[in-house]
C-alpha cells in the first residue's frame, strides 16, 4: 500500500487528521442511527478499521466489525451503550470481505448475540479456499514458482517466506448475497454491489436514499489497497478491480464510508486515480509484451522497475513482486487491458 495525492474531500477534517496522526478516534454518531466505530488492528502497518453500526427499531447491525480482540469488542459495546443498546442487540453482521481486519469479530458477535453473518456467495468461496490447508501447501507453491519461471536456487527462500499460517478462521455465513440484493437494516435499504478485485468476492453497500456508499477496502481515500488478496483459481483480479472501479460510477456523488482512513466525497476522481495507479504498471507490462511474448512471469518481473531495485527483492517482497507481475500480465494476456490503456 502507498499514499496517493489529494483528490478527495474529507467529510470530517478531524477524522482525517486523526488518521494521519495514526490515532484511533472515539466512535462518532453520523445521524439517523448510523455510527462510525474505529477499531484497532493489532498487527501490520494500519492503525485501524472503520466499523459501522446501524441502530434501528429492528435491532443493531454492524458492517465490518474489525479484528477479533477484547478491546475492539469493548469499543463496540461502549458505542452501543451510548445509544442505549448492548452487544446482545446485534442482529446482523455484514462483511465486505473475509480479511481479519473486517470479518474478525463476526463469529464472536454471532456467538454472543445470535447475530446472522452476511457475506457474498463469491466471498464465501474465496474464504473456503483461503482456509483450505491446500492453500498453504509448500508443494503446490513450488509448482507456482516453476510456472512463474523462478530459478531453482530462489525456491527455498520463497517457500520459507510463504509458509505463514492463515490469519483467518473459517466462518459459515447465515446469509449469502449477490449483486443487486437489498438488505433492509435499521430502516435503511442497503444494496449489494459486487466489486471483486481486492478479494474475489468483495462487496460494497449502497444506501441510495441517504446517498451513502460503504466501500470496504475497494476504494480508500489515500491508500491503494492490494489486489487479488484472496481469489479463486482462474480469476483475473486486475481486470476485475478495474471493472469494479468503473462499476461505482453511478455512485460518484455519494458520500463514501470506507473501511480505513476517513469518510470522503469525490469518488469519481478517486476511482480514476486508483485505476491510473494500477494501469501505469499494466502499461509497462504491455510494452514489454511485444518483445517478451509468452516468456515467464520471472522474465517480465526482472525487466520492470521496482522501488528498491529488482536485485534487492527477496522473500515475501520478491513473492509480492512476482504476484503483481502475474496479475498485470494476466490482464494484458486476457485482452482486456487495451481498452483501459487507450483511455489514457
Q: Site residues (CB under 5 A) for Zn ion? A: 101, 217
Are the C-beta atoms of residues 154 and 203 closer than 8 Å to each other?
no
Alpha carbon 7 to its chain centroid, in Å, reads: 20
**How far, in Å, are 134, 182, 199, 305, 329 from residue 121 at the CA level?**
21, 14, 13, 37, 27
| 98 or 278: CB nearest Zn ion | 98
d(CA 329, CA 322): 10
| 42 or 114: CB nearest Zn ion | 42
| 194 or 282: CB nearest Zn ion | 194
Q: How far is the CB of 102 from Zn ion (least distance, A)?
A: 6
| 103 or 242: CB nearest Zn ion | 103
Q: How far is the CB of 101 from Zn ion (least distance, A)?
A: 4
Q: How far is the CB of 95 from Zn ion (least distance, A)?
A: 11
Q: How far is the CB of 238 from Zn ion (least distance, A)?
A: 19
| 161 or 168: CB nearest Zn ion | 168
Q: How far is the CB of 105 from Zn ion (least distance, A)?
A: 13
| 107 or 285: CB nearest Zn ion | 107
d(CA 149, CA 218): 31
**How far, in Å, are 77, 116, 183, 267 from residue 238 at the CA level?**
38, 32, 28, 19
Q: How far is the CB of 23 from Zn ion (least distance, A)?
A: 18
Amino acid at each position: 500500500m502507498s499514499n496517493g495525492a489529494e483528490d478527495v474531500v474529507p467529510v470530517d477534517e478531524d477524522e482525517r487528521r486523526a488518521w494521519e496522526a495514526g490515532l484511533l478516534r472515539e466512535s462518532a454518531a453520523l445521524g439517523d442511527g448510523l455510527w462510525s466505530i474505529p477499531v484497532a488492528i493489532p498487527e501490520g502497518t494500519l492503525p485501524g478499521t472503520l466499523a459501522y453500526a446501524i441502530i434501528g427499531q429492528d435491532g443493531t447491525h454492524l458492517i465490518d466489525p474489525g479484528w477479533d480482540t477484547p478491546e475492539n469488542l469493548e469499543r463496540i459495546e461502549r458505542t452501543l451503550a451510548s445509544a442505549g443498546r448492548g452487544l446482545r442487540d446485534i442482529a446482523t453482521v455484514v462483511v465486505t470481505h473475509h480479511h481479519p481486519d473486517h470479518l474478525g469479530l463476526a463469529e464472536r458477535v454471532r456467538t454472543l448475540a445470535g447475530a446472522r453473518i452476511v457475506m457474498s456467495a463469491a466471498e464465501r468461496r474465496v474464504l473456503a479456499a483461503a482456509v483450505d490447508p491446500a492453500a498453504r501447501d509448500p508443494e503446490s507453491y513450488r509448482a507456482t514458482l516453476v510456472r512463474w519461471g523462478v530459478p531453482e536456487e530462489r525456491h527455498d527462500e520463497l517457500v520459507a517466506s510463504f509458509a505463514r499460517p492463515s490469519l483467518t478462521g473459517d466462518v459459515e455465513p447465515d446469509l449469502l448475497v449477490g449483486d443487486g440484493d437489498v438488505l433492509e437494516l435499521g430502516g435503511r435499504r442497503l444494496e449489494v454491489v459486487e466489486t471483486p478485485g481486492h478479494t474475489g468476492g468483495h462487496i460494497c453497500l449502497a444506501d441510495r436514499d441517504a446517498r451513502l456508499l460503504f466501500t470496504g477496502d475497494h476504494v480508500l481515500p489515500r491508500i491503494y489497497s492490494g489486489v487479488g488478496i484472496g481469489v479463486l483459481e482462474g480469476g483475473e483480479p486486475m481486470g476485475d478491480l478495474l471493472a469494479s472501479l468503473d462499476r461505482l460510477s453511478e455512485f460518484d456523488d455519494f458520500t463514501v464510508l470506507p473501511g480505513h482512513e476517513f469518510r470522503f466525497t469525490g469518488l469519481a476522481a478517486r476511482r480514476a486515480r486508483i485505476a491510473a495507479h494500477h494501469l501505469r504498471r499494466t502499461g509497462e507490462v504491455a510494452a514489454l509484451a511485444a518483445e517478451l511474448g509468452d516468456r515467464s512471469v520471472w522474465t517480465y518481473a526482472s525487466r520492470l522497475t521496482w522501488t528498491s531495485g529488482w536485485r534487492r527483492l527477496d522473500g515475501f517482497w520478491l513473492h509480492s513482486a512476482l504476484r503483481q507481475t502475474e496479475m498485470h500480465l494476466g490482464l494484458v494476456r486476457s485482452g482486456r487491458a487495451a481498452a483501459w490503456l487507450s483511455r489514457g
